[in-house]
Amino acid sequence: MNKNMKLVIIGGVAGGATSAARARRLNEFADIVMFERGEDISFANCGLPYYLGKVIPARDYLLVSDAEEFWDRYRIQVKTRCEVTAIDRAKKEVVVTNLNTGESFREPYDKLILSPGAEPTTPPISGIDLPSIYRVRTIPDIDRIKTYVDQHKPKHAVVVGGGFIGLEMAENLVHRGVQTTIIEMMNQVMAPLDFDMSSILLGHLESKNVTCLLNTRVEGFSEVNGQTKVRLSDHSEIACDMVILSIGVRPEVKLAQKAGLALGMKGGIKVNSTMQTSDPDIYAVGDVVEILDRITQRHMLLPLAGPANKQARIAADNVMGRRAVYKGAIGTSIVKVFDLTVANTGLNEKILKEMDIPYLVNMTHQASNATYYPGSQLMSIKLIFSPGTGNILGAQLVGIKGVDKRIDVLATAIRGGLTVFDLEELELAYAPPYSSAKDPVNTAGFVASNILKSDISIVTWKDFLEIDRCTHTIIDVREKEELQKFGMIPGADHIPLADIRSHIEKLDKNQYYIIYCAIGLRAYIACRILTQHGFKCRSLSGGYLTYSSVMQALSKSQ
């Protein structure tokens, strides 16, 4: 430990503030200085939308720490409203501008940690700098939005982008009584999800009167008679009172580029496993760096607070002479969208196809806890796994209750190298208010294992839409009342599960049978019966619930 070390940290929030505090805990005697160009060094940026919606009632709740507390607790000098404009690597100094006074000065360093974060993407669209167009990154950003909503009571808002922040902002605008439209250039909201899981979310958004325009680009903005006009790629226009831009972020690498630090293929700062840049005395953490995907071993950008905090601790350890290694991430995330919780971990189908990695999927829908106990809610789990080995490649969950618990179990399983066969045997906490004796994670493992053991053959909704109806017969094994209430797949025959055995003599062994029910269990039982009688059959993964949700989403995304 070098007691005389001078550590300079650029940027606060998750990366910078965490690395500063960790560095002090490891070295009581080092001179530590942190520069932050904003007014707040450590704030809950993930909580900004909820402050707008008054779910978080007071602005102060967003403030994690301030400069005075950092000095009192850690003896760390924090200089806010100070922007580092250059790094002189030869002299080992940073050039700093005081944004309040305009004066510049130089600060020497022995080691430097970069945590400038990411900046909102701002495409070159006409009118994008109109005062009615807002971005969400800092507390001053949300202050401006909340002040406008409080004072002007807007009737209609447009949110451009259907990702995490866009959906959270849409929800909280609706909480404030603002009619909201989401414009998304993709054919779905929430890009980390696959289309089938996103379709559940789309239906929920529309049930909350949020209009979602998919496959739609914004071509420009203009102001007419006090309203903002949003010009769309189909040449139509939407009139609104305010616009929230939420179309992604990009790593803020200007300072690093100017200093000659190496960048990676994704445009972030290139670091090694110790978070060290191409300069051995400079480290970088958070949204600005490229990190390793633990599953594919490729580099990626991952603007999430959890990984940023872990990287910050590791960078501080190495700066202070304690060897630590960052082993990469799997991209676990979660978001609340009105009544739903949406979560994912690992890889989705889009990435697997792009990388030509073989995979299998299964979709299960199960109650969050014992159905005889009040309050159980249906939870949808999509499990993605390797053929043969059953290695878990990814998982996506959508539900009202218990999603956070299950995504964490599955993320831990991926991290620990468990397989779907291990999921069958996981011993998870059970009591009727919290789960079932066979937890939804266990059930996802049962179904995946059945597929790998050839106890069941499934057809996904994508494959189902392409089957030859001349050679395939579709059988609905639900009860008649369910068909009348929920509808059925066009062209399907109806044979309730209880009647399957009595119809065996009437079925044709030269036909392929696709069996479905509401969520998959009865179809599985029917397939087991028919398979053992010599019939060729497959179960529609996720049942009618998945099929109907996808079909509704497809009709809106064409």
Which string of b and e fits 156-194 if b means at least 16 CB within 10 Å? bbbbbbbbbbbbbbbbbbbebebbbbbbbebebbbbbbb
Burial class (CB in 10 A: 0-12, 13-18, 19+), 73: exposed
Which string of b and e fits 341-354 if b means at least 16 CB within 10 Å? bbbbbbbbbebbee
Q: Going by DSSP bridges, is the β-strand pair 133-135/242-245 parallel, antiparallel, or unpaired?
A: parallel
Longest alpha-carbon distance in the chain: 90
Q: Does 46 qualify as catalytic in the annotation?
A: yes
106 beta partners: 95
Candidate list 46, 82, 470, 527, residue with the active-site label: 46
Q: What are phi and psi of 272, to 5 degrees?
A: -95, -170
Q: Are 162 and 134 contacting, i.e. CB atoms less than 8 angstroms apart?
A: no
DSSP H helices, 103-242, are 139-152, 164-175, 195-207
Residue with the two structure tokens 């769309």? 232
Whole-angstrom distance, CA of residue 386 vs CA of residue 452: 9
Whole-angstrom distance, CA of residue 545 vs CA of residue 337: 20
- Sequence-ordered strand ranges (E) for 425-554: 458-459, 472-476, 493-494, 512-516, 536-540
> What distances in angstroms separate CA 415 from CA 179, 193, 272, one per listed residue?
41, 20, 20
Catalytic residues: 46
